[in-house]
Each structure stands twice: as C-alpha cells, then as structure tokens.
Structure 1
C-alpha cells in the first residue's frame, strides 16, 4: 500500500507490519530523495541562534529544524494507524526509525531461521507438467529475493542449477543444445530463460496448429450437412431444421436420420477398408495424424 504523493515524486510506501525489509529499502530511498535521510539517520542538535544573527544563519537554522520535523512527518504518514500509536510519542525521526527497525526487523537468530526455511522451500520446488517456465521461475526468483532481502547472498548460478536439474524431460533437447553450444557454468539466467521459453513457445504453436487443423477438418460449411451415401461418397445437402430425429439404432444420437449415420454397419472406411465407420472417424487415420505431429516435433528439435 502507498500514500498519494504530489510534485511528481513516487508515492510514500505504507508499512503495515509485514515485509519490513522491503519497506525500509523503499522508505530510505524516498527520504534521501527528499533530503531528509540525514535527519532520520542522525538525531543532530540544532544549535541556538547567536545574538544578532545574520540572515544566512537564520536561514540555515530554520532549514535544519524544518528538516527534522519533515522527516518525522514523513514517517508518521508512512505507517498504518495501528503502528502510528506506537511511535507518536517518540521525539525524533531517528527514534522512530530505530524503534521500527528493532521491533520489526527481528534479531539475527530469527533472520537465520527465516533464511533456512526459505532455502528449504526453494530446494523442495519441482516444476509441474502443467506449469510454464515463467510460472516456475517466478516461484524460484520470489524465494531467492526473499533470502536476499534478509541480507543473505543468493547467486543467480544457484537458481540456474536448480532450473537445469528440475525441468521436465521435454526440455532435454534445449538443455543438450546449450551444453554443446556454450559453458553452462557461465550462462546467464536471462539467456537460459530465453532459450527455454523459446522452445516452449514453439511447442505451444505446434500443438495449437494440430488442434486447429483437426477442428478445421471436421468443420461443416454453414447451411450444409455432410451425408455419406451407399457408395461412400461425400455429398452436401441443405441444412435440416426439422428438429430432433428418433434415436439412431447405431450411435443412439438424435441429431441425424438413420441413413446418415457415420457408424452404419453397411458403410465402408476408405482408410482401413473396414465396415462400420467412415474415414473421418477412423482410428488408424487419427493415429497417423498424431504420428505426423510427433515426427514434426522431433525434426524441429533436431534442427534446434
């Protein structure tokens, strides 16, 4: 959550008690941009003005006092009402900052336990067959960044190794290509993700094309129906809008007359020469289509 800000400045991040490390980083940068970090980091004293001060001394004195008050005002705005009641009696911006840090950052022992739990969760991750590369790596990166926010080092190479050993088998071609093309110990995380997502996109295009082709082959022209006559010839006739038919004795459906059924015992398949079905629903033809898709995929992977 963030408060509204004017003068083109980013909105002030609001701290509600969670994710202190993230809020502290954002708030520190915000205070520095407003030239208020010194007043927050140090509880400096503003010396009294001397007798008969000059205009420049008056100006500096006022600026330093104003900066301390503005730093407190920004911190008051940057916390939720529940937290405000805990800091409203503190006398300086530094006192407020130190109080929030002490209460919400946690001690070293607690941080170490949080890091261990995050690393354990990271090591347990495995990519599901239904997940995309982006979905899986987003989970890994989120865990790695949480560890980094707790002040612990977590190199990209560790994420790369995790991805390489936990990917499903369908990515083996890409990994083998990368191993042959360059040293995997020096590959960047961005390079690896780009290569994996490129293969994933090609695979999705192939699957989508195969599905669309199958649907197109079975699509009937508007206003026409396909009818198979006794000579196994395909003919188009006008759309019959007479309503439901009696249940077909061959397939039990009610959307066609008996003599138009694809599963009539006297109809012969041109593909397998068997009686009892037509070519468009022939199992052997469907298997050939699936084999062609698999062959195309294998050929593209070899080229890649």
Structure 2
C-alpha cells in the first residue's frame, strides 16, 4: 500500500487554486521524505575522513534528495508556471517564489486573512437555510483561512455556530449546555444534534398542517351534511 501511495503523481498546478495545490504538494513531498529539503533547505553533514563505501553511498543518496525535491516541483506545474521558477536552484527557492507569486507578500496575505475573518464573523444563517447548508458555508470560509496558515480551532467554530443559531435552536442549545461542557462538544456532534432538532421541528409542523387539513375537511363534511339535511327537511315540509 505504501509503495502504491509513493508512486502516485502529484496534482499539476496550472496557476489556479494555489492553496489546494500547495496542501497536496506538501503532503506528497512529505510522503516522499523530501519536504524537509524544501522547508529548511536541509543539507546532509559533510563526510568525515576515510569514509566507508556504505557511508559514501548514504551521503550521495542524501545529497540527491534536495535536487529531487526541486525536480518534483518542476514536474508538478505546467509550462507557464514553470517559466516563473526555472531560474530557481533549490526546492525552497522555487516553493517560496510560487507562494509569493500566487498568495502575495505578507502584507497581501494579512489583508486576505483580515477580510476572511470579517466574513467569518458576519456570516449568519438565512431564514430558511438548513443547519448543514449554513455550516458548509461557514467551513468554506474557515478552510480558506486555514490554507493561509492561520490556526482556527474547532472550539472557535463551535462557539460561532452556537451564537449564530441561538435564536432558532435555543431550547436544544440549553439542553446541550445542561448535559455537556460546550468546550468538549465537537462541531460534528453539535451539527448532528441541531439537525435532529430541525428534523423534529419539521415533523411537528407537518403533523400540525396535516391535522389542520383534516379538521378543515371534517368541518366541510359536517357543513355539507348539515346543508343536505336542511334541504331535505325543507323539501319534506313543502310536500306536506
């Protein structure tokens, strides 16, 4: 299984959705044991005097990893992207060049993070929106922030969901507070609980609507029977 994973080719980057490519490429290089040569531009220690053949072989193998990391990056981009890093001599240099090219400077990145944090803060559930739909929208923003290297804990997301849904699901949230410390509730657990509450509410509405329809139909039937009885009685009186 490990051999099969190691042989998989990385996703080719064509200039779009850099954040997704970067996460996958980083995972791929880690799987190949090469990420440290991109992250730190690590070089193996020099050979000592009178090395053995085995030491020389291991040294040459380690020395080949940095160029190999650069080669993997070269083959994981299209020609148009490759032109931008073709002069880079190390994997780290090529990686940093792509990051700066497609994310921007630290100032640009900080602005992106600030805008996304504001979007996260202002995101509210719509009137007829389901819980899962809202959480999906929320997680889309969260993942964009995380891809920019900012840590967002699950606890922070749970608190955001609780605040946003407090009015609609106040009774359910109160029961959660009574049964478990909110700091220990996972996002998945919270969504499942709120989804169950939502389903029960919809079922009650359906039962209420069905009951109202049956009552209305019953009233119509009674009214029709009364009208028919009155007409029959009137007809009998006229015949006498």
**Residue in 1 that maps onto 2:222:** 271
How far does residue 186 in structure 1 lie from its aligned partner after superposition?
4.9
The structure whose residues are more often helix, as a share, is: 2
Q: 2:5 aligns with which of 5, 8, 13?
A: 8
TM-score when normalising by structure 1: 0.58
Unaligned stretches of 5+ in structure 2?
229-240
1:30 lines up with 2:49 in the alignment: no
TM-score when normalising by structure 2: 0.71
**Residue in 2 that maps onto 1:155:** 153
The structure whose residues are more often strand, as a share, is: 1
How far does residue 208 in structure 1 lie from its aligned partner after superposition?
6.3
Of structures 1 and 2, the one with the larger relative CO (CA 8 A, separation 6+) is: 2
Unaligned stretches of 5+ in structure 1?
1-5, 218-267, 277-304
Instruction: Give the Cα–Cα distance (whole angstroms) in 2 for the partners of residues 112 and 18 of structure 1.
Output: 20
More moved, 24-33 vs 36-45: 36-45
How far does residue 110 in structure 1 lie from its aligned partner after superposition?
1.4
Instruction: Give the Cα–Cα distance (whole angstroms) in 1 for the partners of residues 163 and 44 of structure 2.
Output: 58
Determine if contact 1:133/1:197 at 8 Å carries over to the other structure: yes
1:116 lines up with 2:67 in the alignment: no
Report 1:122-201 matches (<5 A). 122-167=120-165, 169-184=167-182, 186-201=184-199
Determine if contact 1:43/1:93 at 8 Å carries over to the other structure: no
1:95 lines up with 2:93 in the alignment: yes
What's the secondary structure of 2:169's corresponding residue?
helix
What's the secondary structure of 1:271's corresponding residue?
helix
Q: Whose Rg is larger?
A: 1
